[in-house]
Amino acid sequence: MPDKKQDFIDQSLQDLNNDGVDRRGFLKCMAWAGTGLVWTLSGGIPMSRAFAKGHGRDAGKGGDFSFVQISDSHIGFNKPANPDVTATLQRAIDKINAMPHRPDFIIHTGDLSQLSKPSEFDTLDQALKGASAKQIYFVPGEHDMLTDNGEQYLQRYGKGTKGTGWYSFDHKGVHFVGLVNVANLKAGGMGSLGHEQLEWLEDDLKARSSSTPIVLFAHIPLWTIYPDWGWGTDDSEQALSYVKRFGSVTVLNGHIHQIMQKVEGKVSFHTAMSTAFPQPAPGTAPSAGPMKVPADQLQRVLGITDVNYLVSGRSLAVVDSPLGGSSSSASENAGPSLAVADAIHS
């Protein structure tokens, strides 16, 4: 690896570990992030509050549930950034299985494989069989549609879906929509949903009442994070215009291998960590390629996302957990947890 690239990575790591937060401030953030956060939508203004273990007063209300988002497993990747991505996926599954509440299902937001090889999909399937949640919903990443226009992906993970693999389903009063923004990409562009899918989405949402909580999930972010690296979706604004009338919209994405959050009106956007390898923060490296971190730090920059739905507030709480360390060990949770807390504070 060229020295220049390594310098950028060292700098990124330094930024990750030294966010200008002193130890006292950091522990305060930790205490907050460790208990999770609930998005509450009140009069169109999103507010956040910490929620205690067992979801406090909301605990036990009928209809409350949680699900887990995992992303970017890249099974088959074997480069220095993580020579054993199957092991880290397994660790993510162990973490899901160790949760005090069993999630109703898992959403995988794409890049299941590195090269769309049957053996890679087989390995993923085998690992996911061991998850406590048996229902798993997928959307493809660009790595899952490399060889055959996504035919194999559709056969394995997209039975009964529309087009290149989009679909929707309802769960305990929440409407979920899985979108595909990695197919038929145009030269010079970013992610793309395409006309046919947008028409379907408009139609799919038409019949829902505005009070229905909506969860959109897709591989590439549905908000523009960094166009130079293609971290956005060219026609996402059209899609988001269809959800404007809804009171609670949560958008879950992967692709960028790091946590980013944004709230815009009643829509909260969130990207998940990868289970395979981290990528640099936008613009902090010559490219978006895999970021090699010291082996003992890898588990801190990989992780899973736990999403809790509380019926009483019609709100979804998004909590990110790195694979390594427990919430009682502040130092091991540094990067990702701070990223969550920071996003909420601002």
Partner 1 sequence: MKKNNVWVAGFAASVVIAMVLLLAGSPNVTANDQAAAANVAVNIDNFVFGPQTITVPVGATVTWTNKDDIPHTSVSTEGVFKSKVLDTDEKFSYTFTRAGTYPYYCTIHPKMTGKVVVQ
Residues 6 or more apart whose Cβ sits within 8 Å of residue 241:
none
Q: Are 84 and 91 in contact (CB under 8 A)?
A: no
Q: Among the candidate windows 194-202, 261-269, 286-294, 318-326, which touches partner 1 by CB under 8 A?
A: 286-294
> Which of 250, 241, 289, 298 has its CA nearest to residue 270?
250
Q: Which is nearer to partner 1, 177 or 222 (CB)?
A: 222
Q: Which is nearer to partner 1, 279 or 321 (CB)?
A: 279
Selected binder of partner 1 within 75, 288, 330, 334 (CB under 8 A): 288
Selected binder of partner 1 within 229, 242, 269, 309 (CB under 8 A): 229
Binding mask of the shown chain, residues 154 to 193, with x at each position contacting partner 1 by CB under 8 A:
-------------------------------xxxxxx---
| Number of DSSP helices (H) and strands (E) in the chain, helices first | 8, 13
Q: Is 5 in the site for partner 1 (CB under 8 A)?
A: yes
How far apart, in whole angstroms, are the C-alpha atoms of residue 184 and residue 20? 42
How far apart, in whole angstroms, are the C-alpha atoms of residue 36 and residue 341? 9
Selected binder of partner 1 within 14, 97, 287, 329 (CB under 8 A): 287
Phi first, then psi: give them for residue 318, nearest 5 degrees: -110, 120
Q: How far is the CB of 198 from partner 1 (least distance, A)?
A: 18
Strands (DSSP E) along 229-330, which ranges?
A: 249-253, 260-264, 267-271, 303-310, 315-322
**Burial of 326: CB neighbours in 10 Å, binned 0-12, 13-18, 19+:** exposed
Segment 69-88, which members bind partner 1 (CB under 8 A)? Answer: 77, 79-81
Q: Among the candidate windows 36-44, 56-64, 113-121, 330-338, which touches partner 1 by CB under 8 A?
A: 113-121
Site residues for partner 1 per CB under 8 A = 5, 77, 79-81, 114-116, 142-143, 146-147, 185-190, 227-230, 286-290
